Amino acid sequence: MYEIPSLKYKYGDLEPHFDEETMRLHHTKHHQAYVDKLNKALESYPDLAKKDVFDLMRDLNAVPEAVRTAVKNSGGGHLNHTLWWEFITPETTAPGEKTITALDETFGGLDNFKQKFKEAATNHFASGWVWLVRDGSRLKIISTPNQDTPISGGQKVIIGIDLWEHAYYLKYQNRRADFIDAFLKVINWVKVEENLAS
């Protein structure tokens, strides 16, 4: 049985950037719903249901066709949100050495990275995610629709932003750009550094 992870901070800790109610609903309702649907989809496949969600999503071909779409959507939702809670932090963090070097080499600096990331997130159509991933030895910004996860394509996730309206609509309504700015202020740079190192 998959379960939503417990968070390292309280729902209100990211105020005023992310509001308490959105954080609570996002975790206890939206993320929980992906987990519930994933558990239901794998009810008849106990061996698959024992897999770590990363391993499950890395090898969708191992999932029987009858439930593959359900697993892609709800397993992706579970995995993406598990990552999401760790992309953000109420603590003040700063980009580490590896991060600065990598963003310099690939994007010409932190500010340029932020600008390109924001551009991609602003322009992403409908629901989905924008990510910074490592693909082979290269870093790149990509976007995925729905709950598709870069993990299924063999890419290593460094950071990403949830662009489903449930992630921001209560506080930001149609102002997605303001939500993206808020996200850029609460990025957990310690996690980014860790992801780049592994």
Residues that bind Mn ion (CB under 5 A): 162, 164, 167
Q: How far is the CB of 167 from Mn ion (least distance, A)?
A: 5
* Minimum CB distance to Mn ion smaller for 87 or for 189: 87
Residue closest to 8 by CA, chosen among 91, 69, 79: 91
Provide, rounded to whole angstroms, the least separation between the CB of residue 89 and Mn ion.
Answer: 17
Contact 40, 67 (CB under 8 A): no
Nearer of residues 164 and 172 to Mn ion, judged by Cβ: 164
Residue nearest to Mn ion (CB): 162
Which amino acid is located at 128 in the chain? G
Smallest gap from Cβ 103 to Mn ion, in A, equals 25
Alpha carbon 169 to chain centroid, angstroms = 17
Alpha-carbon distance of 196 to 192, in angstroms, equals 6
Nearer to Mn ion, 165 or 181 (CB): 165
Nearest approach in angstroms of CB 30 to Mn ion is 5
26 residue type, one letter: H
CA distance 196 to 53: 21
DSSP category for residue 11: G
Closest distance of CB 149 from Mn ion, Å: 12
The count of other CB atoms within 10 Å of the CB of residue 152 is 18
Q: Which is nearer to Mn ion, 117 or 179 (CB)?
A: 179
Distances (CA, A) of 185 to 61, 71, 175: 38, 32, 16
Which of residues 57 and 102 has its CB atom nearest to Mn ion in the complex? 57
